[in-house]
Structure 1
Amino acid sequence: MNWLLVILGGMVGAPLRYLTDRAVQSRHDTVFPWGTLAVNVVGCLVLGALTGAAMAGAASSHLQLLLGTGLCGALTTYSTFSYETLRLAQDGARFHVVANVVVSVTAGLGAAFAGVAFAQALWS
């Protein structure tokens, strides 16, 4: 049963990541990977909120598998972040490399903490 929840979450998360990435990136005429940044930050926010809900006893282990492991696991993408950062470095876009790393890590952590705080305020 657990594996089915992960699969179902992944079946939603993977196409959602692709479609969101393409939609966001198509609106920006730049080499900066806005689409990957967007899906990673949203995934961090969702995972943070889910973690806060679980800490407050409001999220079952099944919901954690469905949304945390399945959806967020397929939605977020460290490998694409790494690839795009290396591609920017190879292209000599040093500012974009530094901006991508700093903004991705800072915004991702900030979103995760915000998600936890929101869920704890809601369910505590």
Structure 2
Amino acid sequence: MILKDALPQGRITGTGSLRTVVQTVFDVLARFRQYMTHPGNSRFEPLFEIAMQKQLYNLLLEWLSGETTNSPDKVETTAVVASWGIFGAAVQWSRDPLHSTSEMMVHRVSEVAAAALAPVLGE
């Protein structure tokens, strides 16, 4: 699992490791776009994107479930919204990386994701 492997303990432990996950998503999608430039490879794009978003969702769900006493429904909804927000922003950026740098987008997306997660985390 690409995302878990990027984390020192294989899991998110706070907003610092959340930023690592966001950076990893951006890095992986940038490399994936380079691969997609080869003819015939675009058919794998939907499969890759589904797998990557699901991995991100599961990682966030695992972290949030262990950090809160909120209802499972609220935790699951938060993980869905946050994972799609992070992933969607990274996909959009990867399609037009000249618009802004990866570092700038990772910073912005990390801030927004942390704010979105704060109510569930009690921060």
TM range, smaller chain: 0.3 to 0.5
- The structure with higher relative contact order (CA 8 Å, sep 6+) is 1
Larger Rg: 1
Higher helix share: 1
Q: TM-score, normalised by structure 2?
A: 0.42
